Amino acid sequence: MSTSGTNHTVTIKDSATGKETVLPVMHGTAGAPVIDIRSLYKDMGLFTYDPGYTATGSCQSKVTYIDGDNGILQYRGYPIEQLAEHSNYMEVCYLLMNGELPNAAQYKTFEHTITNHTMVHDQLVNFFRGFRRDAHPMAILCGVVGALSAFYHDSTDIDDPHHRMVASHRLIAKMPTIAAMAHKYSIGQPFMYPKNNLGYAANFLHMCHAVPAEEYKVNPVVAKALDLIFILHADHEQNAGTSTVRLAGSTGANPFACIAAGCAALWGPSHGGANEEVLKMLTEIGTKDRVPDMVKRAKDPDDPFRLFGFGHRVYKNFDPRAKVIQKAAHDMLEELGLHDPLMEVALELERVALEDEYFIKRRLYPNVDFYSGFMLKAMGFPVPMFTALFAIGRTVGWISQWNELIEDPSQKINRPRQLYNGVIDRNYVPMSQR
Ligand code: ACO
């Protein structure tokens, strides 16, 4: 491998054929450089093998930067800690979508636009009634978000920038309404319409917790904490959910269908479903004295159990979101005068795991999901709603990355290759001879 300014290259030699090729290395503004292998098959007849894409860059992006070794997360260049402290979710949405922080007039217009798109087509209500009452909110989200493409035909032309913008606004605005409807449906209460005099997070709390029979006042401490949770989940570069959105988007599918695909990927317990699993796990542990048993199970190679809320593909020293959320969870519980015994179990689990050789060696630290569950529980959300809340926050990231994909002339339909290990060249045998 030779490195010299912009002429940085990697030479690959195939020992079987003696063929050789020189591949350019591309440098971004930050992060590890990447080898441009696009000509590899043409020049060498070789593909690369990387299950789980552990070393593969799938796109160029200007949205979010992560340095996993140093625990850095930046949206459009702004550190997550600064945004968590000084910004709010609406402003972060504008930033992610447009690349710059808004001035006062831009902010006002954007907030007004989102607020005025929060209602859903009235016929969607009938759609909800088709679900079982005990349907998981993520099952409903996957279905209803995909169904938006059947309701909003005037924003599905992906080649029209105006259509794309309207679809983006609709998705950010309607996601909380749909998630709140899923919650209300599961508990048998009437749907609550959005209220335009409330902020984004406060409006969601209202739609989830209010009933038509009486006045409901949103607790500002809770609304602020939820806004923070949305900020921390807003984007995370090419994670599984976002890559799924991009992959679906690369085929030219409409944005509602692509975000529904993102919801499906997020739902898994290794990804956004982990926040739900963390609370289940802590409840199962129950008391501090049972922590060592669980840690022992998590270390056992013959036991598929893993500590949920621990470990991350990219963060290998700490998850900066976990640091912010741990403090926020503690502050919120204190401000509300709530005591959650599971918090003690969590702190003990974190302490024991962080001192354990197994976790130290594998660089496993609490991730954002480890603490978000406490806050969501204290806010009155049932555990199955946790991943839906993650999806609300992440929608802006998905949509920003999807827009970037559509506007990127180098993007092609995403179509990985494979290493075929199956049988070949067999002749069909009639059933009577098998
Ligand atoms: N508990 C116990 N062991 C673990 C854990 C865990 N939570 N996470 C990883 N390990 C171990 C693996 O068994 C493996 O051990 P080995 O080297 O002896 O085989 C080693 O650590 C490396 O793990 P990988 O699975 O190779 O790491 P990968 O990057 O593929 O996985 C993941 C990352 C999926 C997040 C994993 O750490 C995990 O399953 N964690 C629990 C689920 C979770 O919290 N997910 C949320 C992620 S954050 C998010 O999506 C918002």
pLDDT tens digit sequence for 43-96: 999 999 999 999 999 999 999 999 999 999 999 999 999 999 999 999 999 999
Distance 249 CA to ligand 1 centre (A): 28
Distance 352 CA to ligand 1 centre (A): 17
Alpha-carbon distance of 288 to 348, in angstroms, equals: 6
**For ligand 1, atom 47: residue with the closest CA:** 271
Q: What are phi and psi of 177, to 5 degrees?
A: -65, -45
User: For the segment 172-194, what is each residue's pLDDT rounded down to a tens digit?
Assistant: 999 999 999 999 999 999 999 99
Nearest atom in ligand 1 to 306's CA: 1
Q: Indicate the top mutation candidate among 66, 362, 371, 376 to test ligand 1's pocket, ranked by most ligand atoms within 8 A of CB.
A: 362
- Inter-CA distances, 209 with 181, 203, 206, 245, Å: 11, 10, 5, 30
Q: Which of 23-27, 107-111, 269-273, 291-295 has the lowest mean pLDDT?
A: 269-273
Q: Is pLDDT of 341 > 90?
A: no
3 torsion bin: left (phi>0), alpha (psi -120 to 50), beta (else): beta
268 CB-near residues (< 8 Å, 6+ apart) = 240
Average of per-residue pLDDT across 358-370 = 91
pTM for the full predicted model: 0.93
Q: Helices 274-285 & 341-354, crossing angle to 10 degrees?
A: 100
Among 3-17, 96-110, 263-277, 371-385, the range scoring the smallest mean pLDDT is: 3-17
Higher-pLDDT residue of 228, 344: 228
| Residue 35 bridge partners (DSSP) | 25
Cα 236 from chain centroid?
7
Could you give the CA distance from residue 222 to residue 308 in angstroms, rounded to a whole number? 25
Q: How far is CA 372 from CA 82, 247, 272, 279, 356, in A?
A: 19, 28, 11, 9, 23
Cβ 274 under 6 angstroms from ligand 1: yes
Strand order in the sheet with 72-75: 64-67, 72-75, 78-79
Q: What is the pLDDT of residues 275-297, one digit of tens each?
A: 888 998 999 999 999 999 999 99
- Ligand 1: atom nearest CA of 309 is 44
pLDDT digits 0-9 by tens, 206-227: 999 999 999 999 999 999 999 9
Angle at alpha carbon of residue 302, lines to 301 and 306, rounded to 5°:
60
Residue 16 contacts by C-beta under 8 Å, 6 or more apart in sequence? none
In this predicted structure, what is the pLDDT of residue 6?
64
Q: Is 229 in the pocket of ligand 1 (CB under 6 A)?
A: no
The mean per-residue pLDDT over the stretch 257-263 comes to: 98
* Nearest CA, atom 34, ligand 1: 270
Contact 229, 372 (CB under 8 A): yes
* Cβ(296)–Cβ(352) below 8 Å: no
